[in-house]
Chain A
Amino acid sequence: MSSKQQAVRARPSAGWALLGSELSVLFRRWRTWAMLAALAAIPVLIALAVRLSSRDPGPGQGPPFLDRVTQNGLFIALTATVVSIPLFLPLTISVVAGDAIAGEANLGTLRYLLAAPAGRIRLLAVKYAAAVAFCITAALTVVTAGMLIGVALFPVGPVTLLSGDTISVGESVLRLLLIAGYVSLSLAGLAAIGLFISTLTEVPVGAMAATAVLAVVAQILGALPQLDWLHPWLFTHHWVGFADLLRQPISWDAFAANALLQGGYIALFCTLAYGRFASKDVLS
């Protein structure tokens, strides 16, 4: 018995295996790939619509940057990102983050993970890390699919920035990846909110819907001028504020402000999730 005891107690590993397992479960799910495919379809649909229509979009018509797509295919990525930010991206993040704990509770696997023992804090950390990984993947999917379809259907060349300067194709791609990073950061705040909501219920669909509704409500509140005192505190406040990244030289102000805001939301809601989950009775 004592040798067995020692064998079991010998040097616990750092526990990265659980993160690896979480990511592999996430990306082995059909649902995850369906959502990424839907996100990739957005730039493709935009590109096809522009390509197949007989007349070019006039200046200022349609979503931002759409009028420049026919001159430079890289703008598809930008248009698709702007179009996806209010609803499609938050929706997919809500599904992944809302499912984090509630989904495990619903399947009953939560009790087995905790009895393994995964450790409640570690499980929460792993779940959040996986949700952030999905945020990055989702943002990159939109941007990358946009670039690829843009290259395939339209001419591509140096890009004229908002500031009037022109940058090379290579640098344009870097700027687009930077925007994907900005969007991922924005979504990481929403993921923290989703994680917290997910600890409140055993019904994953409820947590997903509640998270998505919050994202939409925050944007509606952000559009009401009567509530302008509230706007800087809304987690959606900087969501579309990445135009600064399209100036020469780059202005990092919006990035910094967004990082501060999202950091605050992440800290707050991860703490709330911990407070709720650390002492919760797991009865599912």
Chain B
Amino acid sequence: MSAGSTGDLPSGELAIETQGLTKRFGHQTAVDHLDLAVPHGSVFGFLGPNGSGKTTTIRVLLGLAAATDGHARVLGQEMPAALREVLPRVGALIEGPAFYPFLSGAANLHRLDAADRHAPSATRRARVREALERVGLSHAAGKKVRAYSLGMKQRLGIANALLMPRELLVLDEPTNGLDPQGTREVRSLVRSLAAGGTTVFVSSHLLAEVEQICTHAAIMSAGKLVAQGTVEGLRRGGEQRVTLTTPDLGEADRVLRGLGLSPAGVGSAANGMVTAPLADGILPEQIVAALVAEGVRVRGFAVENSTLEERFVALTGEGFDIVQ
């Protein structure tokens, strides 16, 4: 899977596009020649281990930090030059929510909405109420943010991104700190926004979740883009695996090795499972035929694509230590 292939959309249809985007802090390169291509209308998962440069990229895209090198275009316009035209069309959650603890949730939204000259004051009250409703905070609207829980603040942060109709939502780890209901709610929110034509750019560590809601994804590692494309394509880019259920573990193992595979067995002798990565040039039906020919009792046989998580680990490494 090469970086840059993003399905079949032409490059004019990109909601976010970066070329050689680089951001250095002193001599540390946080983002290293990033070529991102986020198609219009996609739900784009932006993945990467801690410290891989996701938030830094988002800051540069939103004009909060200046790129050291390279170009970024958001909604078809050069950033940060077109910041004033672009940002009113973008809703953002950047590295977690941040609010005035001495103001209520609603008052906080009023303030941030007042900062946007494109947000009409006549509808402010109604839009704040609606945004709070969408994230399930109506009952806590009058409560001081000081008294909010982590998840409530996170919901308020998402509400802030939804104050105006947006063409692009940039959500940096939106489900951080949310309870299962909140997580589900965010997932369905993202789906409904995407159905309405909004492009959603969401950074996350929760790969299962990204797999569920995203159409596209990119994987970062130590500031570099290591993979980008449709989620389907990314998964396919990984190896496939065969899983065999059989009581004849020993025999199956011998047959699979004979075919050049490297199987690993689990389970009891009565009904064990063998899994093996599918090697190039061997078709699943050949494996079954060989097994049956050798008298192995095949009780189950499946070919599985690797999960996004496996792809992620394969691309970004097993190690737990932060890569610098």
Residues of A within 8 A of B (CB): 1, 4-5, 7-10, 12-15, 17-18, 20-21, 25, 28-30, 107-109, 111-119, 123, 279, 281-283
From B90, B103, B115, B197, contact of A118 by CB (8 A): B115
Contact yes or no, A111 B112, CB < 8 A: no
Contact yes or no, B88 A9, CB < 8 A: yes
Segment at the A interface, from B94-102, B286-294, B314-322: B94-102
Q: Which residues of B sit under 8 angstroms from A107, Cβ to Cβ? A: 98-101
- Docked pose: A107 CA to B113 CA in angstroms: 17
Q: Closest CB of chain A to B110's CB: distance in Å?
A: 7
User: Which residues of chain B in 293-324 are interfacial with respect to chain A, using CB atoms and an 8 Å cutoff?
Assistant: none
Q: Please, could you name 27 A-B residue pairs with CB atoms under 8 Å apart, sorted by A?
A: A8-B167, A12-B88, A12-B118, A13-B118, A13-B120, A13-B121, A17-B117, A18-B115, A20-B114, A28-B103, A29-B102, A107-B99, A108-B98, A109-B100, A109-B112, A111-B98, A112-B92, A112-B94, A112-B112, A113-B115, A116-B87, A117-B63, A118-B116, A123-B115, A281-B64, A282-B65, A283-B64
Q: Closest CB of chain B to A112's CB: distance in Å?
A: 6
Contact yes or no, A119 B84, CB < 8 A: yes
- Docked pose: A25 CA to B92 CA in angstroms: 22
Beyond A10-B118, A108-B98, 10 additional contacts (C-beta under 8 Å) are: A25-B103, A107-B99, A112-B112, A112-B115, A115-B64, A116-B112, A116-B116, A119-B117, A279-B66, A282-B64
Contact yes or no, A117 B84, CB < 8 A: yes
Q: Which of A5, A12, A28, A30 has the most CB of B within 10 A?
A: A12
- Docked pose: A135 CA to B302 CA in angstroms: 75
Chain B binding site: helix, strand, loop or mixed by DSSP? loop
Q: Which residues of B sit under 8 angstroms from A4, Cβ to Cβ? A: 165, 167, 197
Q: Which residues of A sit under 8 angstroms from B97, Cβ to Cβ? A: 108
Q: Closest CB of chain B to A196's CB: distance in Å?
A: 20
Q: Which residues of B sit under 8 angstroms from A12, Cβ to Cβ? A: 88, 117-118
- Docked pose: A5 CA to B113 CA in angstroms: 18
- Docked pose: A28 CA to B90 CA in angstroms: 29
From A7, A30, A115, contact of B87 by CB (8 A): A115
Q: Closest CB of chain B to A118's CB: distance in Å?
A: 4
User: 8 nearest interchain CB pairs?
Assistant: A108-B98, A116-B115, A118-B115, A117-B87, A17-B114, A12-B117, A281-B65, A21-B114
Considering the complex, give the chain A residue whose CB is closest to the CB of B94: A111
